[in-house]
Structure 1
Amino acid sequence: MFQLDTDNPTLRLIVRYMVLTLIALIFVTPILFMMMSSLKPDQQLLADTSSIKAFLPIGDISFDNYKAAFERAPIGMFMLNSLLVTGVTVVLGLLVCSMAGFSFVFLNWRGKSIAFSIILATLIVPFETIAIPMLLMVSKLPWLGLDGFSWGWLNSYRVQIIPFIADGLTIFLFAQYFKDLPKELIEASRIEGCSWWQVYWRVVMPLSGPIIATAAILKFLAMYNQYLWPIMVTQQEQYRPVLVGLQYFFQLNTAWGEVMAYLTIITVPVLAFYLALQRAFIASIASTGVKG
């Protein structure tokens, strides 16, 4: 009976690369299908789905679907809205959630354990159960802006940003990472006369690159892929993000080539953001595995 020689380093390396290649194909195949389909007319696109041709740039290849997609919907405005909302939320969210995680780990204050337990409990609450109460609340909240005082946050960027700055998962990730930092380093900083803000900003955060990258990627994906909340709170086209804009391609006649072109366009920022942070992200996963 055949037995795998697990002590052979060359064989282990071959098996490892085979597994990694298989995993890569699983993730790359849908993206490749989407990109190739975006270059084909609908008739050819549907005909190629039953064969390997769906993943190859063969046949009537052109960029007509991209041109038609930009003519059908204001893609540039949707992209700008999504990047603005996502970028501001990620930056503010990382700051607020890291400060919260720091306070839970290093500061002593009454009710800390209860507060942290409540935050963890929010992880099991589906967003759909609180969407309607949140909608009723934000529709009556006051706001003082450059144009004066007003009531209600609907049809604005703030209604898509402020409710999602802090979230339980990001706070939990920062708190768990901060727990593994050397306590001696914090104590030495305090002995040297550093305030808690200086310890947070000059000592803890510079050591938190991996978890910052991990939290940034997770928060970016969560915000960039939002659909339910934006469609509930934005009735004006000028505030709508990319996923809400997808409905433009299913009105009247559905052009699948244009749909694939639109999906390819809106996927580019996600891939670019992940590739920019993948080294820190992989380092975070590796360090988590070692600590676990």
Structure 2
Amino acid sequence: MTTVLAPTPSAAPARKASRSRRGKIAVQALRIALVIFFAFPIVFMFVSSFKPDLQIFKDLGSWRGFVPVGHISLDNYLGVFDRVPAARFLLNSIGISAITVVLGIFVNSLAAFSLARLKWRGRQFVLTAIIATLIVPFETLALPLVWWVNKLPWLEIHGFSLVLTTGWLDTYRVQIIPFIANAFSIYLFYQYFNSIPKELDEAARVDGASWFMIYRKVVLPLSGPAIATVAILTFLPAWNSYLWPLMVVQTEDLRPVMVGIQYFYQLNVAWGEIMAYASLITIPVLALFVAFQRSFISSIASSGVKG
């Protein structure tokens, strides 16, 4: 007679823990594989920025294209600054993007605060109109916008007096002011502000706080993830702007980094220098995302999925 031994009580939890551990390992392996796959273009760009053109084409199609082997030097980076005023382009883009982000956060958050926290007639219609503008591509507005900015007045300082001039073309302001207000940023702030309890407003109003004080001292300090998300989503279009500066800016000293790429396609194309220039203009974007990634992910998880 054969005796069948029942499994010990600890066997089932052990098998369950083992399957859970194998599942976690598989998920991590998949994540690493996806990171490697999507990082290939960036790695290739950075590695190629240190190689001469002949070696770049020689290493194509093999693992050597993703590894800094062969003739490695900083000649391409030195060539970038000799070929174009790269430092000036970088400073222009940093200044334009930073000012657009700061003013955009203030203007868009203030508009969203009015829509989300104040009660006034027609606010739902205004919100609907703002959201509706998201379906209009910028290319359809570019030419009318050029006509308008060429007609707008501006006060300039000449000596000790203010002079009223007409036209914003070929200036820094034409690259900043039209892009401060943004429908998506307003909507994102609106969604996030709605998630903050309105009882905080009522308590602050009882203590004698004005609405602007509530906005500045109650709502904004609780909106760090939304602010970080708007900062990233405002910085990226400002930094990557190409069509608009090409249309409205003629002076070389006012141009941003993206317009500078066309310099490398004139006369002899230097692919190593193109890779070096692309690496230089990619570093600020990566640094910004690394600095705000936690807040960005938190905002998308907490407010971006709300109905």
User: TM bucket by the smaller chain?
Assistant: over 0.9
Match of residue 27, structure 1, among 31, 38, 53: 38
Q: Which is worse superposed, 190-199 or 122-131?
A: 190-199
- Partner SS state of residue 146, structure 1: strand
- Number of residue equivalences: 288
3-state secondary structure, aligned to 1:174: helix
Helix, strand or coil: the match of 1:156?
coil
Instruction: Give percent identity, aligned residues only.
Output: 53
Tell me if structure 2 keeps the 8 A contact 1:97–1:167.
Answer: yes
1:276 aligns with 2:304: no
Structure 1 counterpart of 2:40, which letter?
Answer: T
Q: Is structure 2 residue 134 aligned with structure 1 residue 119?
A: no
In the other structure, the counterpart of 2:109 is 98
> Equivalent of 2:48, from 13, 37, 57?
37
1:46 corresponds to: 57
Residue 21 (structure 2) pairs with residue 10 (structure 1): yes
Tell me the residue number matched to 2:179. 164
What is the match of residue 239 of structure 2? 224
Shift of 1:17: 1.0
Mean alpha-carbon deviation: is it higher for 258-267 or for 177-186? 177-186
1:233 alignment partner, one of 237, 248, 252:
248
| Structure of higher CA gyration radius | 2
Query: Which ranges of structure 2 fall in alignment gaps of 5 or more residues?
Result: 1-15
8 Å Cα contact 1:142/1:152 also seen in 2: yes
Contact 1:6-1:12 within 8 A present in 2 as well: no
**Letter matched to residue 270 of structure 1:** V
The within-5 A match list for 1:105-254 is 105-147=116-158, 148-254=163-269
CA distance 1:67–1:22, shift in 2 (3 Å): same
Distance in 2 (alpha carbons) for counterparts of 1:23 and 1:143: 50
> RMSD of aligned C-alpha atoms?
1.6
Paired residues of 1:35 and 1:264 also in contact (CA < 8 A):
yes
Q: Which moved more, 1:23-32 or 1:107-116?
A: 23-32
- Within-5 A mapping of 1:254-265: 254-265=269-280
Compared with structure 1, are the counterparts of its residues 140 and 291 closer, same or farther at alpha carbon in structure 2 (3 Å cutoff)? closer
Task: Find the aligned partners of 1:285 and 1:110 in 2 and give their Cα distance.
Answer: 30
Give the Cα–Cα distance (whole angstroms) in 2 for the partners of residues 6 and 90 of structure 1.
48
Instruction: Identify the match of residue 62 of structure 1 among 73, 85, 105.
Output: 73
Give 2:264's aligned amino acid.
Answer: F
Contact 2:152 2:168 in 1 (8 A): yes
Separation in 1 of the partners of 2:194 and 2:36? 36
Paired residue type of 2:98? G
2:5 corresponds to which residue? none
Change (3 A) 1:237 1:290: closer
CA distance in structure 2 between the partners assigned to 1:52 and 1:6 by the alignment: 38
Q: Which amino acid aligns with 2:221?
A: P
Letter in 1 for 2:228: A
For residues 50-104 of structure 1, the C-alpha deviation after alignment (integer angstroms, 9 at most, x for no partner) is: 1111100011111111111110000000000001100000000000000000000
Q: Distance between the aligned counterparts of 2:257 and 2:143, measured in 1?
A: 22
Report the TM-score when normalising by structure 2.
0.90
| Cα distance in 1 between the residues matched to 2:98 and 2:223 | 20
Give the CA deviation at 1:289: 7.4
Contact 1:93 1:166 in 2 (8 A): yes
Aligned CA distance change for structure 1 residues 40 and 266 (closer, same or farther; 3 Å) = same
